[in-house]
């Protein structure tokens, strides 16, 4: 009879310990679900310093204006006043 009482006491202790473990596990999962850890905050713009943004904008505007103002590498086509008139016989020839 003492053996059965001892086995019953040990089974009760184990049951309580198991119930306590499940209660701690459920509490740990519950707190993790309620307060998720945020690693970063959502942002709409990247963090670029205003000075760098203005300097880059001025550089791009300067490149654009330099491209507009630079002379082209090809010589210009001669105008009609600069062209020497050639005789008509050299310009036109009979084909038939």
Share of the chain above pLDDT 90, in %: 33
Q: Examine the pLDDT at 31 and tell me if it is beyond 60.
A: no
For 34, phi and psi rounded to 5 degrees?
Answer: -80, -35
**pLDDT band at 24; cut points 50, 70, 90:** confident
**pLDDT band at 46; cut points 50, 70, 90:** confident
CA dihedral 83, 85, 90, 96 (to 10 degrees): 100
Rounded CA gap, 4 and 16, in Å? Answer: 18
Q: What is the pLDDT of residue 28?
A: 73
Q: What is the pLDDT of residue 85?
A: 61
> How large is the C-alpha radius of gyration of the chain?
46
């Amino acid at each position: 009879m003492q053996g059965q009482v001892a086995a019953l006491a040990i089974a009760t202790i184990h049951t309580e310990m198991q119930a306590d473990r499940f209660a701690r596990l459920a509490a740990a999962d519950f707190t993790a679900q309620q307060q998720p850890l945020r690693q970063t905050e959502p942002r709409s713009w990247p963090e670029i310093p205003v000075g760098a943004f203005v300097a880059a904008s001025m550089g791009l505007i300067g490149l654009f204006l330099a491209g507009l103002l630079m002379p082209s590498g090809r010589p210009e086509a001669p105008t009609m006043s600069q062209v020497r008139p050639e005789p008509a016989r050299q310009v036109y020839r009979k084909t038939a």
